[in-house]
Amino acid sequence: MKCSQILAIILALISLSVPACQKHEDESESEDHKIVVTSPLAKDVTLTQQYVCQIHAQRYITVRALESGYLQKVSIGEGQLVKTGDPMFEILPTLHQAKLDAENAEARLAKLELDFTKSLRKDNVVSPNEVALYEAKLARATAKAKLAKREYDFTKVTAPFTGIVDHLHEREGSLIKEKDVLTTLSDNSVMWVYFNVPEVRYLEYMATQGEDQESQKIELKLANGNIFRYRDKSGKIRTDGSINAIEAKFNNETGNIAFRADFPNPDRLLRHGQTGNILIHRTLKNAIVIPQRATFDILDKRYVYVIDKDGVVHQREIFIQNELPDIFVIMKGVDVNDKIILEGVRQVREGDKREFEFRKPEAALANQKQHAE
C-alpha cells in the first residue's frame, strides 16, 4: 500500500472521531450545568441536647455510732438491701443496761412512796404539800428512766429507711467511739441525676414551660451507651424521666446552672455515684428544614440560591435556628413556597436565568449522604 493511501485512511478516521468527541464534551458540559432545585419542607423535627451527668441516690446517709463501746453484733452484709427498722449494728450495752435497771428501780420506788403518801393523806396524816412533793419525785424518776431507755436504745442501730448497705467500716469486736462511721446507706428507689446547662439552653427550656410537655422527653444514656429502661407500676417499659429541680443561681465561672432529673429505679440497676449522659429531646412542630448542601458561606453569613417564577437566580441570606445531621432548621429567610438550588450551587451567579429539574423536598432530604458540592 502506498504512503498516500495510508495517509488518506488516517485522515478519514480522524474526521470521523472528531464529532463523537465533540458530542461527548457537549454532553459532559450539559451534565455539569444541570441544576436541581427543591423546596424547604415543613415537618416535625426532634432536637436532642446531651449533657454529662452525675447519678445520685435520693437519700444517701452516713450511719454513725451514737454511743461508745464494743461492737457486739453486725446484722447486715455489704450490698444488702435492708428495710426500715431492720437491725444493723448492736454495741455492747452492759453499762447502759445497768443504768436503765437502776433508773427503773428508782421510778418504782418513787411510785410506792407516792402511793403510801396518798393513803396517809386520806387519813389526814400528811398535808397536800407532802403528796405534791412525792408526785414531783416520781415525775423526776420517770424522766430519768426514759432517758436511760433512750441511751440504751442508742446501742442498737436500725435502718432509718429502705436502702442498700455500702462498705462496712467496722467489724464485730471493734471498739467504737461515739460518732464513728459504721457504714453508709443509700435509698436508690428514685435516682437524682444532676447535670449542668448553659445559660442559652436554660432560657430555651424556661421558654417552653407551660407548653405541651409531650413535645419534650428526658432520657438517661448509661456508660455502656444503652438508654436506661425501667418498668412503671403498670408493668410498662419506659425510658423517660422528669426535671424536678433547678438550682437558684448560675455558676459565674462556667456560666452554667445545675438541673436535676428524677428517674424511678425499681430494679435497683442505678447506683449512687454512677455517671452517664442526659438526653433532652424536644420536638419542633412544623419546622422549616433544608438540606445543608443547598447552602454556602460568605464570611460569617450563610446563604442559599433562590429561583423565582421566571427562572432567575437570587442570592438570599438565611438564619439557622438549629443544626441537625445533614439538615438545617431555618429561623427565617426561606419558606415552603420558595425554590432553592440543591445541586449546581457553584455553577450559578446572582441574576442568572437557568433551566432546572425540580426534586421533591422529601426525596431531597432522603438522599443527604451524597457529597455536597
Distance CA 29, CA 60 (A): 72
Residues 196 and 111 in one domain: no
Per the structure block, which three cell numbers stand in for 72? 457486739
Residues 118 and 219 in one domain: no
User: Residue 22, Cα to own-chain centre: how many angstroms?
Assistant: 64
Is 330 inside any structural domain? no
Cα torsion 154, 159, 165, 167 to 10°: value is -10
* pLDDT confidence band for 288 (50 / 70 / 90): very high
Q: What's the pLDDT at 371?
A: 40
Instruction: Check: CB of residue 75 under 8 Å from CB of residue 90.
Output: yes
Residue 311 has pLDDT above 60, yes or no: yes
Is 38 inside any structural domain? no
Instruction: Check: CB of residue 339 under 8 Å from CB of residue 358.
Output: yes
Q: What CATH number does the domain containing 137 carry? A: 2.40.50.100
User: Residue 212, Cα to own-chain centre: how many angstroms?
Assistant: 20
* pLDDT confidence band for 33 (50 / 70 / 90): low
Per the structure block, which three cell numbers stand in for 160? 432509718
Is 163 inside any structural domain? yes
Q: What's the pLDDT at 205?
A: 86
Distance CA 58, CA 245 (A): 13
Q: What's the pLDDT at 10?
A: 54
Q: What CATH number does the domain containing 198 carry? A: 2.40.30.170
Residue 224 has pLDDT above 90, yes or no: yes
Beta strands in 199-336, from DSSP E residues, in sequence order: 216-221, 230-231, 237-238, 242-246, 256-264, 275-291, 295-298, 301-307, 313-324, 327-332
Which of 240, 257, 285 is the C-terminal boundary of a domain? Answer: 285
pLDDT per residue as tens digits for the range 175-213: 988 899 999 999 999 999 999 999 988 998 888 776 656
Query: For 300, which DSSP code?
Result: T
Mean pLDDT rounded to a whole number for the chain: 86
Which of 158, 185, 212 is the C-terminal boundary of a domain? Answer: 185
Is 301 inside any structural domain? no
HSE-CB of 86 using CA atoms within 13 angstroms: 16
In a 10 Å sphere around its CB, with 0-12 CB exposed, 13-18 middle and 19+ buried, how is residue 334 labelled? buried
Among residues 263, 99, 276, 63, which one has the least CA distance to residue 182? 63
* pLDDT confidence band for 119 (50 / 70 / 90): confident
Residues 130 and 179 in one domain: yes
DSSP H helices, 126-190, are 128-153
Residues 120 and 207 in one domain: no
Residues 83 and 140 in one domain: yes
Count of Cβ atoms closer than 10 Å to residue 110 Cβ? 21
Residues 203 and 234 in one domain: yes
Residues 85 and 108 in one domain: yes
Query: For 246, which DSSP code?
Result: E
- Determine how β-strand 163-165 pairs with β-strand 41-64: unpaired
Could you report how far apart the first and last alpha carbons of the chain are, in Å? 55
Residues 127 and 107 in one domain: yes
pLDDT-wise least confident of 10-19, 110-119, 328-337: 10-19
**Domain hosting residue 133, numbered range:** 63-185
**Which residue shows C-alpha cell 442498700?**
164
Among residues 185, 207, 369, 191, which one has the least CA distance to residue 291? 369
Q: What's the pLDDT at 241?
A: 94
Which of 135, 158, 185 is the C-terminal boundary of a domain? Answer: 185
pLDDT per residue as tens digits for the range 225-244: 999 999 998 889 999 999 99
Domain count, the chain: 2
Is 226 inside any structural domain? yes
Residues 88 and 152 in one domain: yes
* pLDDT confidence band for 67 (50 / 70 / 90): confident
Max Cα-Cα span within the chain: 168
Distance CA 241, CA 222 (A): 14
Residues 203 and 137 in one domain: no
Is 31 inside any structural domain? no
**What are the Cα distances from residue 185, in Å, to 22, 86, 89?**
85, 12, 13
Is 328 inside any structural domain? no
Residues 181 and 193 in one domain: no
Residues 93 and 135 in one domain: yes
Residue 290 has pLDDT above 90, yes or no: yes
Is 112 inside any structural domain? yes
Among residues 326, 315, 325, which one has the least CA distance to residue 364? 326
